[in-house]
Each structure stands twice: as C-alpha cells, then as structure tokens.
Chain A
Amino acid sequence: MSQERMLELEDVSVTIDRATVLDGVSLQVAPGETVALIGRNGAGKTTTFRTVMGQTAIQNGTVRMNGTDLTSLPSRARIQHGIGFAPEDRRLFTTLTVEDNVRMPRWGKGNTSDDDFEDSLERILSIFPEMEEFLDRPAGQLSGGQQKMVTVGRALASDPDIVLVDEPFEGLAPSVRERFRDGVERIKELGISIVVAESNVRHAGEIADRGYVIERGEIVTSIDADEPIAENDEIKRIFEGA
C-alpha cells in the first residue's frame, strides 16, 4: 500500500438508534488507487460512505481528506475537499434534465462558469459517451443503466480527487456491466482515486487494486494489491462459509 494518504478514516464509530453500525473503522486510500470495500448487504459499506459525506454523526474517530480533518464539517463542505459520491440507489433528480443533474455539484462548488462546465462535461463524456444522446432528457425517463451512468457522471462533475461509488454493478445487465468496467478503467486513467462498495467479490476483484472487508460494521481485514481478492481467507469465510 502506498504511504501517501488521500482519504483516511481513523477509528470511526457510528451509532444509529442506539445500534452500533460502524465500529472503529479505519481505512486509507492513496492518490490514483482503486480500493474495494467488500461486504454483505448491511455490513456497513453504505454507512461508511454516508459518514465520509457527512450524513451520519460520528461518535468517535476522524475522517481526513488530503490531511484536512472533515469530521466536524457540514455535509455540503465535503465536495469542496475533492470528494464525489455516486449512491447505490442513484438518487437523481428525476424532473431535471441529465445536464442539470450534472451541473448541480458544480453549483455546489460555487463554479458557474460555462467554459469550466464544458471541460468537465467533455471529460465525463470521454468516460460514458452514451450520455451525450440523453443530456436533454429528464433523468426520470432514463433506463436503470443510463441512470447509473449519470449518477457516476454527476459524482465526477465537481472534478473530484476521489469518487465513492456504491455498488456500481448492482442491477445492471451483463453488457451494461461491461461498459461500466470500461468506465471505471477510464476514470482510473484520469488519475482519480475510486472507492467502490461491493457485495460481489468477483466484481471487486476485477476492478480494485486492493480492498477492505467489512462485516457487522467492522473492518475485519485488508487485502493487499499482491493478493487476489477472491483468495483471501476472510472473503472465503464470509462469502463461501469456508
């Protein structure tokens, strides 16, 4: 693992309705890395992302980005520190056009320049060229796969250093899944770090450089770059009952 740290969670604990949903989670992501957060449904992957995005109150621990402590910053400030988020359930604004959806994080960053937006859009279209065909359509009229592309595109629109993608392949047809894998490769080529939350070990193994395994809100092991994810003992125990 690289020693340079971009996103860092240190001993983060989160309690919701008196239930501990994250318990001392620590993980690090270096510039340019693709890291998988692997676990079954309900293991704490989405909560980890929501915590990074400032949507859950942290009882203990710190979240840092490029050395800046984000823990006490409001949710809306996280994007200013170079973090993009593509949620599992897409959460697009269905009555707005795709273009307006993609513009939203730029407004959030206070950047209303059309020239900058064109540059950013060009970069997004280099990842998902299909989006050009439906930029003017309301997001609610798109297919599930198209919506997923827009969700990732929107997360990239703020020109983030790192993007958190929750279950990118969930619910996609095999051919669209292939397109997504190509898209992730293109994001890597652009030098953007990626954290994917995955409940599918094979998908995680195909795209990630390394990984963390999360179970019942705890990181139970980390998997180094030189170890095939599917061969990890904890992965086998959790997913194969071995």
Chain B
Amino acid sequence: MPIGTFLGIAFDGLYFAALLFFASIGLTLVFGILNLLNMAHAAFYGFGAYLAVWTLNNIGDVTTSTVVLLAILVLAIPIVVFVLSAALDKSVFAPLYDIEPVYQLLATFGVILMLDDIIKFIWGASPISVDAATDPSRQLGSIELLGSSVSAYRSFVILIAVLCAVGLYLMFVKTKLGKISQAMSEDYEMVQMLGINVNRVRVLIFSISVALAALGGALFVPFAVAAPSVTLDYVLLSFAVIVIGGLGSLKGVVVAALLIGMVRSLGIAFFPAIELAIVFALMAVVIIFRPEGFFGHRGVVE
C-alpha cells in the first residue's frame, strides 16, 4: 500500500475517532458518575449539528470570518446547549436517576423521539447543510502532513478532541469538581453524607456531557449534512464505543473511539459495503470475551 494511501486511511480514522469521542464521552460520564444510561445522549449530537447549520447559515450576513465561524462551533453552540441542558436535567432527566437501568433505557429512548420531533418541528424533516460562504472547512482548505494533503478543518477537529480529552482528564484529577465526581462514581450516598450538594454536581456533569455531544455535532456538519438519521447513527455507534471501552471510563472512550475509527476507516477503504458490520462484529467479540470492556469497573480515570 502506498504510504500516502495509508496516511489517508489513518487520518480519516483519527477524524472519525474524534467525532465518536464527542458522541460517546458524555454518555460514559453520565453513566459512570450519575448512573444514568442515557439513550437520548446522541440526540444532543444531532441537536448540535442542526443548531450549528442554522447559526452558520444565518451569521453569513454579518460575518464570514473563519475565526468567528470556528468560535461559533467550538464555543457558542456548546455554551447554549450547556445552559439548555441544565434546565432539561431538572425538568426531564431528574426523575430518571433513581430508577432501574432498563426503565432508564426505555424512558430515555422516549426522550430521543421527543427531541427528534422537536428538531423536525424547528428545522423540518429534510437534511440541511452549511452554505458554502460560511463553511469553515472550505475556508481552511488543506495542509501538507508528512507529504500528504489533508483537510485543515479535519485536523482542527482532531486537535479539539485531543484538547477536550486532556482537559477532561485534568479536570478529573486536579479539580474539586473532578475529584467529587470520581467520588460520586464510587459512592453517591457517602458523598451526600459528607455534605456535598450532589444535585449541583449532577447538573454540572450532565450539562458538560451534553455540551460535548453538541460540540461533536457542531464540528461534524461542515463536512456533512444535518439529518434526522444522524441521531440514530450516533446512538448505535456511541453505544459500541462505550461497550468496547468499558462503561464509565474516560480512557475506555478514547481507546475504543480510536479503535473503531481506525477499523471503520480500514473497512471503508477495503470493504466499503460492510464497514459498519465490521464495527459491530468487533463489539460482539468484545462482549463475548470481555463483557466489561477494556476499562470497565475501574473508575472514571483509571
């Protein structure tokens, strides 16, 4: 295989891994720390995608500055979703934390349908895409990497994913919020008895998780369309990531997203008709031989 082709496959794998990281990291944090199996998580990925297309297409009359467009994707969309999700946690998700996981799955699947319909109500059922004038991926063009030409925008997405992974790790090991979150993942009740307002921490962790999903959706759309199918695709893929990586593990998400990203990229290059089947076959193998995943039952950052 020519080295250029190999690098191209590896780069696409990294880009897809970055998107999977955003779609899955919040799912595993919400499960690991808050004990909520939130099927609806990927709906926020879809919501972020739609909100990003709508915002980019409407900002064009004001500015087409690349820096502003990237700031909208990386800062504005996650911040808006962070605030909205804090309200959603209190109103929709709060009653779900104390119920059995099977009911959580059913209830949050209902939330997916609800959020999907809200998206269709606002933006319609047809796919929408970013206008060429406000598409930062077109503006950034390509860069040379080890002799190959790669998308500068995709490199930017990979960089943001790496920064988020490192930032989350540092948050968990260095900050008060992170340490309390780790403690809550082990013993919610004991944290309460030590005087911590676990509800406040819960809202923060939930909102950070959902904002990261929306960030992934926002970063995804300059290269793709926002469509109702986005949510369902990423529900399945994000569950594959956390099953392979181990429920509740930050490290598990990083490793599994990289693995699936690379496997899928190789699948697209050599067996395009069955690229998704390969990913889910990998998941089945992990379930059979290591049901807890690579890093399950070890805590959020172990």
Contact = CB atoms under 8 A, between A and B. Distances in A.
Interface of A: 53-55, 74-80, 85, 87, 91, 93-96, 100, 103-105, 107-109, 112, 154, 158
A158 to B, nearest CB: 7
Contacts of B179: 96, 100, 103-104
A76 B299 contact: no
Which of A85, A87, A96, A103 has the most chain B CB atoms closer than 10 A to its own CB? Answer: A96
Contacts of A158: 194-195
A76 B197 CA distance: 7
Interface residues of B, number: 21
5 contacts: A55-B189, A74-B192, A75-B192, A95-B299, A103-B179
B133 interface: no
A66 B261 CA distance: 60
Interface string B273-302: 000000000000000000000000001111
B192 to A, nearest CB: 5
Contacts of B198: 76
A103 B302 CA distance: 21
B186 A75 contact: no
Given A93-B182, A100-B179, A109 B193 contact: no
Given A76-B197, A104-B180, A107-B176, A93 B186 contact: yes
A102 B230 CA distance: 45
B70 interface: no
B268 interface: no
Contacts of B194: 76, 79, 104-105, 107-108, 154, 158
A108 B198 CA distance: 10
A226 to B, nearest CB: 35
B193 A94 contact: no
Nearest to B186: A93
A55 B198 CA distance: 14
A108 B195 contact: yes
Contacts of A91: 187, 190
B183 A105 contact: no
A121 to B, nearest CB: 16
Which of A78, A80, A91, A154 has the most chain B CB atoms closer than 10 A to its own CB? Answer: A91
A165 to B, nearest CB: 14
A91 B180 CA distance: 14
B162 interface: no
A103 B196 CA distance: 11
A199 to B, nearest CB: 22
Interface in B135-191: 176, 179-180, 182-183, 186-187, 189-191
Contacts of B182: 93, 95-96
Nearest to B192: A75
